[in-house]
Amino acid sequence: MPIYEYHCVECDKNFETLIFGSEEPECPTCNGRNVHKLMSACGFVSKGSGGETIGKSAGTSSCSGCSATSCASCH
């Protein structure tokens, strides 16, 4: 089951929760159900056999509008 990130409109808090099937998320702070799913990026670092960094995920991108590492809309 995937873990999703949400923002609660009622208390203005972000949270993560594990969702099973068609469950509706509930804010753990205020129990509100007026929540919006956030876009999140998977973060990881690839290491070579000598321990050197050989790649990073989109989570380290300088673009704050999406999870891509480069695109035409990012200048």
Place of tokens 């321990």: 51
Q: In this predicted model, what pLDDT tens digit does every residue of 7-63 receive, in sequence order?
A: 999 999 999 999 888 889 999 999 999 999 998 766 667 777 777 766 655 544 444
- Is the confidence at residue 1, as pLDDT, over 50? yes
**CB-based contact 13:26 (threshold 8 Å):** no
Domain spans, the chain: 3-57
Q: In this predicted model, what pLDDT tens digit does every residue of 9-25 receive, in sequence order?
A: 999 999 999 988 888 99
**CB-based contact 45:52 (threshold 8 Å):** no
Can you tell me the distance from the alpha carbon of 18 to that of 8, in angstroms, rounded to the nearest whole number? 15
Instruction: Decide which of 3.30.420, 3.40.50, 2.40.128, 2.20.28 is the CATH code for 3-57.
Output: 2.20.28
